[in-house]
Structure 1
Amino acid sequence: MAGRTEGREWPGALDLAALRASGWRPTPFRQFILKIHSRCNLACDYCYVYEMADQRWREQPRRMDADVVDATARRIGRHVRAHRLDEIEVVLHGGEPLLAGPELIRHAVTAVRNEVGTAARVRIGVQTNGVLLDEPFLRLFDELDVRVSVSLDGDRRGHDRHRRHADGRGSHAQTAANLHRLASGPYRRLFAGLLATVDLANPPVETYEALLEFRPPAVDFLLPHGNWENPPPGRDPDTDDAPYGDWLTAVFDRWAGAPRGETRVRLFREIIGLSLGRPSGSEMVGLSPAAMVVVETDGTIEQVDTLKSAYEGATATGLHVGRDGFDAALALPSTAARQIGLEALPATCRACAVGTLCGGGLYAHRYRAGSGFRNPSVYCRDLFRLVSHIRDAVARDVARTKRARTRSEPMRPELKRLTIPEKVFLGLAQGGGGAYAVDELWRVQRSKRLLLLRWVREAARSRDPAREARARQAYALLADVQGRAPDEVRAVLDHPTVGVWAHAVADGDADTDPITALAAAAAIRARDPRPVEVVGGPDGLYLPTLGTVERFAGTGLVRAAPDAPVTIASDAGTVILPDDLHRDAPGWRGLRGLEAEYHGMALHLLLDDCDPLRAAGGDPSPRLTPAEAEHWRATLRRAWRLLVRWHWTVAEESARTLRVLTPIAPPPQGMRSSTVHEAFGAVYASPPPDERDLAVTFAHEVQHAKLGALNDAIPLTRPDDGSRYYAPWRDDPRPAAGLLTGAYAHLGVAGFWRRQRHHEQGAAALRAHTEFARWRDASALVSGILARSGRLTAEGERLVAEMDRTLRAWRREPVPSAALDQARAIANEHRERWRARHGEPGGAARRA
């Protein structure tokens, strides 16, 4: 079948050999669409699957078997590792995917994540019509961290015109009721956005505003599928009219004039980015290669399923996950045709003023019998109208900005603030964010540390010439090693106490010489043979990520030749490092590892009990004995199993955030933990009583770390004016910044116990319910105090409003009366004790 369809898809032979000889290589698949159910519970009259040219769905099994799921997951894992992908997306699709049932969905999500493991970040989403999106499904998606996109075409009249049940009943009421549950309750973090098919009969601005009722984080406006053989409704290819372009332009003008953050409209943002010279991230516009592949319910590998609108067999490849890998699909001419960009376009598109922005439109919309897909889009005039309008609007904005800058001369120098994508901000504001958000925060932290490192180099000038020379030499070596072994330099600079030291240098409280240890650590990790001059301190020579040389005096040399042991020589003698740098040797204390893995999710930490700067997080423990270190490992494995089973997002964020666990001295009873703003990536903790305490510590401290890193990019509170407030988790009055970070951390604690209470029995269940009630109420109280304080920036107000929205929904969830009474008694006792020390807490500010 694959051979039969190739000629219709691409007139003449597509010469892959010539393409490869010219330097072109296929782009690996990054989006995997799994058709887990082939039927639908609605009968939408515009559906390309059931109502258009390709009717092979009738031959498909209704439901994907578990064996097919497993084979698909294995193929995805191999594709990820073969191409060293760092991130993929898996979309559960149909038909209506929720018809597959919760058990198959759970199996599919778990199987893919297990097969990919830690090789790449796996983002999983589901696209549904929303009719079956009830509370049990939302709980399942919350547990599995599955993002939900819902199809909604506007208000009731506009939606029900096409999206009906087989008996003619509209579906808007059911979809809207479930959407409200998704959009306004504790599941909002799962809400990926709305998909709306454009209908010319629906007023554009009213339709857009009807979608805004659900506060979607994003809206995708989709053009009805059609082509030159079967034009879409209201589109006459023989006229110059552009009805769809006019419709979308009206929505764009309304969207562009709204306050920032109302919602993201992907089509508009893509065209804006293209107008500014950025690559596209969507196949709707632009020339970026398509990188998605479909697996049908029977396991056949197919091209993107929108091609079903062209002709029967347009998506066929002749491949099956049971016998073929995804690289076989990459080798097909039909895949190449969707990845070669400008070369796939006809001469009319290449000569068009907006051809590289439009990119010929969606591939499926270009089909014409006899010439295949090498045609302009059937929406050519509509796309020209919309793209030209947005391009011109962007040009006007750029010109206004330049004029404003010219008039404002002389300009004061300003520190350019790092940015956070809107969807990341919203995910973090709702208490989560996942791996994607943490990766953005690491991007911010790495930029900040590089700036601080440059400051260290410059600060060395104000010391003596010898220090300046050492700092410049070390900085140059780091830069050189980074060019050849970037991962090794990144690991060193990511080490948490590097941030502590660099901040101290910037504040004038630390020496610049430890930069030599950074260069030495990078050279050792990369096995760079050049000798590195290093300077130790009273505690020896600490090499970030590796360990400490105990016998060290003055200055010394580190040699790390690839074919010889690493040696570190100083006036105190020469220390030879072991092959495994994390083991001890005479004169050497290695940083030991803590590792845990469960169901393909792994956590890798360094157990730091020798860094001189580890005291920043509390009273540090002395060097642990082997038995004490093994106790930490055992407890961590149990805690990690608990997190991965019941708190996937916490586990994912912990694995992405944390690099180091630093043991600190225990309190008289219980456990204590902390994070340090400058030491992003570290958690400081005393030995936990059990795995639950360690698991909730991760939920708590990762929240602290996330908020601190977010605040580096987006200030959330105004400068401290001395105002102090009541915090239900502290005995001392807190400034607004401290109050906010505490509220955000305890939002994470409440979320942990909210999930954990469903997996406990007896006294443990009572404790979990009590903790949930206590911390949701405490965080809600503080959110109100912060909202009234006047000490938040505009972005801080947005963050607190999102937090409060989540907490209000949680406070409506039932809690056993015994747990509720216990939580209230603890809260009242704390408030009375605080009042006795500091006066009436109320919520009013008091001056320090």
Structure 2
Amino acid sequence: MPADYSAGPPSPLPAPHRGPPPATPPESRHHRLSAACFGELAHGGGGAAAIAELRAGQRSRLMLLLRALTQLASTHPQVPGPLPAPREAWRLLIRAERRSPSSVARLLLHPQAGAWLSRCLRRLRGVAEEAADEVPLWLETGYLHTVAASAALLAGIDFRIAVGVRDGGVMLPALGFADLPGHDSPVAEIVADHAAGRAVRAGSHTVPLPSDLTRDAEGWHPLRRLHGRHPDHPCSPYLDDLDPYRDFLRPAAPARLSAPELRRWQDHFDSAWALVARQSNVDPAGVAGCLVSVVPVRYPARAEPFSASSPEACGCVLLNPPTDSATLAASLIHEAQHIKLSALLDLVPLMHGGMEENHYAPWRADPRPLRGLLHGVYAFLGVTAFWQAHRQVVADERVRAVSDFEFALRRAQTSRGLRTLQAHAELTALGDRFVRGIEGRLAAWLIEPVPEGPLRAAEDLNLDHRLLYRLHHLRPDPERTEQWAKAWRLGRPAPDVLPATVLRACRTAASARPALIRLRLRDPEDFALLRKNPEEHPFDGTVAPLRADLDWAAGDTAAALRGYHDRLTERPDDLPAWSGLALTLPAGPAKEALLDCPEVVLAVHRALSGPVGGGPDPVALARWIGTRR
């Protein structure tokens, strides 16, 4: 690594001045990455020192975004509304930094502030946002005033500033929510005075702020934390259920978790963090450094547990309520990998372009650009690392079977995505070095033996995923497809040349098979009860299983084949049933056709079907296509 990749310190906020802030800082310092940090990251790792380098770069990036926002807002006709001019908030931030630079850094690096910055900048530049009209632009821009107030409170300085009222109160980022019930004014005031104390005031209503802002008080709801207790590697991210920008996918009103919900989150997180902290493949200190806030959400999870992170909200992880500790631990590592790579890409270019093409991603139902593929490969390298180490130390036979399965599944997905990157991505010199680091880390795991049962289940699900992707997104040429349909009608042999296909991304139908395999491995008795009486037995998957899916997951291939065949007779456009048919057919031309070109079999079947259904027998048609020369 060249010497000029050593890291430099972040610049301070510039001194106040009259008028809007200048477009560029008076002193520009470039961030460079140390060779040691890059090497750690390239192998999927990254300890506390590496994360500190990445966060230093994020601080400067966010400072520049904040300056750009202040400049744009200072000249926008809809801003400041009833609030003081944005430069007043900027001046308060400067005062706070002079007293306590760490306080301003904490606010700049707070993930919700980053999510707000990016969203608000888009609105100021005229880029429409979902539900943008619900929040006036002056109020959205006024989040800057609450950022400044939070920094000033942390710095311990006296101040007074007007802020916007939203969702019935005032959110102080990284601190908590002041509840103002019944207050109908759009503006409140935050006051801090060493003699008179600190408070949020709105008309005749006052919420005194406690001396310890982490404690509940009358009208004050602090941000709470999750605690991963470990003597050497503790982790305590916020559990954010308050901030309007906590869900970076869309703004949300406060939704305070109940005491029992909080306990469940805490218990799962503590258990999951114990698994992360004992990892031999992943540096727990680096993961802890990535996790600033965890946001509870409830999004449909389809085939995989839902989790998400965003480059705009560095350090924030959205999570559905956890179901088990190991899955939560893997999700935390998965999102930490995304967070590291996003911060790295802000400092070091790893590929040219990468947003223009769409490719198959073995972990996603939809096509992905190459940059998305790089993110997925890096994230699942971390997940593979977790399961590889976890399966070595678990004593319970069922837990080990699940771990073996997840390890086999994730290493194969990572390897497939990596091969696509190597074949198609235009990598920079550093990008090539980075990808080769991933390849080197993965190589030994690819030849590690896995018991036959979990290995076969992983291979079947990866094949199922690939088939479903092709059935959903590949479209054969309609003219050539019609020629094939005509040949079938006339009783002729299948043409020799397959129709050309194009990629046309569309909505996808989820399959219950991944959830059923996990249930069968984790709890065979519960799976047996579900198979015996699926109508009455609860199933936590998002898709109700077909009888054929249950038979397939149980290993009864003959029954599953009959079930999928009957399903397609009733519903010929059920794509998961087509994939199930391919999985359960015995070896022969029909199976070969469905594995080799499932989208062609589907397209020809559709061309031969009438407006109210019907069509040829799917197995007979697949066999006919499979006998082509």
Q: TM-score, normalised on structure 1?
A: 0.49
Counterpart pick for 2:325 among 671, 688, 691: 691
How far is the alpha carbon of 1:495 from its aligned partner? 0.9
Equivalent-residue separation in structure 1 for 2:355 and 2:231 (angstroms): 49
- The answer to whether residue 368 in structure 2 is matched with residue 734 in structure 1 is yes
- The answer to whether residue 336 in structure 2 is matched with residue 702 in structure 1 is yes
Equivalent-residue separation in structure 2 for 1:569 and 1:721 (angstroms): 48
Deviations 1:749-788 (A, max 9, x none): 0000010001123111111111111111111111110111
Counterpart pick for 1:523 among 152, 156, 161: 152
- The answer to whether residue 207 in structure 2 is matched with residue 594 in structure 1 is no
SS, match of residue 278 in structure 2: helix
Equivalent-residue separation in structure 1 for 2:469 and 2:300 (angstroms): 21
Range with greater deviation from structure 2 (591-600 or 773-782): 591-600
- The answer to whether residue 442 in structure 2 is matched with residue 807 in structure 1 is yes
RMSD: 2.9
Task: From the superposition, tell whether residues 561 and 644 of structure 1 become closer, same or farther in structure 2 (CA, over 3 Å).
Answer: same
SS, match of residue 827 in structure 1: helix
Counterpart pick for 2:276 among 631, 639, 643: 643
How far is the alpha carbon of 1:666 from its aligned partner? 5.3
How far is the alpha carbon of 1:660 from its aligned partner? 0.9
Deviations 1:91-124 (A, max 9, x none): xxxxxxxxxxxxxxxxxxxxxxxxxxxxxxxxxx
SS, match of residue 574 in structure 1: strand
Equivalent-residue separation in structure 2 for 1:476 and 1:721 (angstroms): 39
1:66-105 matches, cutoff 5 A: none
Task: From the superposition, tell whether residues 557 and 733 of structure 1 become closer, same or farther in structure 2 (CA, over 3 Å).
Answer: same
Equivalent-residue separation in structure 1 for 2:111 and 2:277 (angstroms): 24
How far is the alpha carbon of 1:845 from its aligned partner? 9.6
* One-letter identity of the residue aligned with 2:296: P
Equivalent-residue separation in structure 1 for 2:200 and 2:279 (angstroms): 46
Equivalent-residue separation in structure 2 for 1:460 and 1:724 (angstroms): 37
Equivalent-residue separation in structure 1 for 2:251 and 2:441 (angstroms): 35
How far is the alpha carbon of 1:564 from its aligned partner? 4.9
Counterpart pick for 2:76 among 443, 463, 475: 463
Name the structure 1 match of 2:92. 477
- The answer to whether residue 171 in structure 2 is matched with residue 542 in structure 1 is yes
Larger Rg: 1
How far is the alpha carbon of 1:704 from its aligned partner? 0.6
Name the structure 2 match of 1:560. 192
Deviations 1:99-154 (A, max 9, x none): xxxxxxxxxxxxxxxxxxxxxxxxxxxxxxxxxxxxxxxxxxxxxxxxxxxxxxxx
- The answer to whether residue 105 in structure 2 is matched with residue 490 in structure 1 is yes
- Report if aligned partners of 1:724, 1:845 keep a CA contact under 8 Å in 2: no
- Report if aligned partners of 1:717, 1:736 keep a CA contact under 8 Å in 2: no
Name the structure 2 match of 1:657. 290
1:335-414 matches, cutoff 5 A: none
- Report if aligned partners of 1:723, 1:847 keep a CA contact under 8 Å in 2: no
- Report if aligned partners of 2:245, 2:251 keep a CA contact under 8 Å in 1: no
How far is the alpha carbon of 1:741 from its aligned partner? 0.5
Deviations 1:626-671 (A, max 9, x none): 1111211122111122221235744211221111111111536773
How far is the alpha carbon of 1:846 from its aligned partner? 4.9
SS, match of residue 597 in structure 1: coil
Name the structure 2 match of 1:755. 389
Task: From the superposition, tell whether residues 668 and 597 of structure 1 become closer, same or farther in structure 2 (CA, over 3 Å).
Answer: closer
1:434-449 matches, cutoff 5 A: 434-449=47-62
- Report if aligned partners of 2:239, 2:293 keep a CA contact under 8 Å in 1: yes
- Report if aligned partners of 1:723, 1:845 keep a CA contact under 8 Å in 2: no
Counterpart pick for 1:569 among 178, 201, 226: 201
* One-letter identity of the residue aligned with 2:320: S
How far is the alpha carbon of 1:469 from its aligned partner? 5.1
Name the structure 2 match of 1:375. none
How far is the alpha carbon of 1:466 from its aligned partner? 5.0
How far is the alpha carbon of 1:565 from its aligned partner? 4.1
Equivalent-residue separation in structure 2 for 1:704 and 1:845 (angstroms): 30
Counterpart pick for 1:792 among 420, 423, 427: 427
SS, match of residue 637 in structure 1: helix
Task: From the superposition, tell whether residues 747 and 527 of structure 1 become closer, same or farther in structure 2 (CA, over 3 Å).
Answer: same
Equivalent-residue separation in structure 1 for 2:470 and 2:334 (angstroms): 26
SS, match of residue 245 in structure 2: helix
Counterpart pick for 2:313 among 679, 692, 696: 679
Equivalent-residue separation in structure 1 for 2:363 and 2:259 (angstroms): 35
Equivalent-residue separation in structure 1 for 2:200 and 2:90 (angstroms): 19
Task: From the superposition, tell whether residues 737 and 572 of structure 1 become closer, same or farther in structure 2 (CA, over 3 Å).
Answer: farther
How far is the alpha carbon of 1:448 from its aligned partner? 0.4
* One-letter identity of the residue aligned with 2:356: G
Deviations 1:283-339 (A, max 9, x none): xxxxxxxxxxxxxxxxxxxxxxxxxxxxxxxxxxxxxxxxxxxxxxxxxxxxxxxxx
Equivalent-residue separation in structure 2 for 1:779 and 1:480 (angstroms): 48
Deviations 1:587-614 (A, max 9, x none): 3322112222212321121111011112
| Structure 2 spans left out of the alignment, 5+ residues | 9-27, 125-136, 477-500, 506-629
User: How much identity, in percent, do the aligned residues show?
Assistant: 33
1:7-22 matches, cutoff 5 A: none
- Report if aligned partners of 1:789, 1:845 keep a CA contact under 8 Å in 2: no
Equivalent-residue separation in structure 1 for 2:298 and 2:237 (angstroms): 19
Name the structure 2 match of 1:744. 378
Task: From the superposition, tell whether residues 472 and 693 of structure 1 become closer, same or farther in structure 2 (CA, over 3 Å).
Answer: same
How far is the alpha carbon of 1:731 from its aligned partner? 0.5
- Report if aligned partners of 2:226, 2:239 keep a CA contact under 8 Å in 1: yes
Q: TM-score, normalised on structure 2?
A: 0.65
Task: From the superposition, tell whether residues 493 and 798 of structure 1 become closer, same or farther in structure 2 (CA, over 3 Å).
Answer: same
Equivalent-residue separation in structure 2 for 1:633 and 1:830 (angstroms): 34
Equivalent-residue separation in structure 1 for 2:76 and 2:340 (angstroms): 35
Name the structure 1 match of 2:213. 581
Range with greater deviation from structure 2 (567-576 or 516-525): 567-576
- The runs of 4+ residues in structure 1 deviating greater than 4 Å are 464-469, 617-621, 844-848
SS, match of residue 235 in structure 2: strand
Equivalent residue pairs, number: 440
Task: From the superposition, tell whether residues 664 and 557 of structure 1 become closer, same or farther in structure 2 (CA, over 3 Å).
Answer: same
Deviations 1:346-382 (A, max 9, x none): xxxxxxxxxxxxxxxxxxxxxxxxxxxxxxxxxxxxx
SS, match of residue 683 in structure 1: strand
How far is the alpha carbon of 1:827 from its aligned partner? 0.6
Task: From the superposition, tell whether residues 446 and 668 of structure 1 become closer, same or farther in structure 2 (CA, over 3 Å).
Answer: closer
Counterpart pick for 1:782 among 401, 407, 417: 417
* One-letter identity of the residue aligned with 2:274: R
Equivalent-residue separation in structure 2 for 1:721 and 1:556 (angstroms): 44
- The answer to whether residue 245 in structure 2 is matched with residue 616 in structure 1 is no
How far is the alpha carbon of 1:507 from its aligned partner? 2.1
Counterpart pick for 1:533 among 162, 166, 171: 162
Equivalent-residue separation in structure 2 for 1:775 and 1:733 (angstroms): 18
Equivalent-residue separation in structure 1 for 2:251 and 2:307 (angstroms): 11
SS, match of residue 452 in structure 1: helix
Equivalent-residue separation in structure 1 for 2:400 and 2:268 (angstroms): 21
Equivalent-residue separation in structure 1 for 2:251 and 2:144 (angstroms): 25
SS, match of residue 531 in structure 1: strand
How far is the alpha carbon of 1:810 from its aligned partner? 1.6
1:310-329 matches, cutoff 5 A: none
Task: From the superposition, tell whether residues 646 and 714 of structure 1 become closer, same or farther in structure 2 (CA, over 3 Å).
Answer: closer
Equivalent-residue separation in structure 2 for 1:619 and 1:772 (angstroms): 36
- Report if aligned partners of 1:498, 1:679 keep a CA contact under 8 Å in 2: yes
Counterpart pick for 1:820 among 452, 455, 458: 455
Equivalent-residue separation in structure 1 for 2:281 and 2:445 (angstroms): 19
Name the structure 2 match of 1:625. 258
SS, match of residue 141 in structure 2: coil
- Report if aligned partners of 1:662, 1:685 keep a CA contact under 8 Å in 2: yes
Task: From the superposition, tell whether residues 437 and 714 of structure 1 become closer, same or farther in structure 2 (CA, over 3 Å).
Answer: same
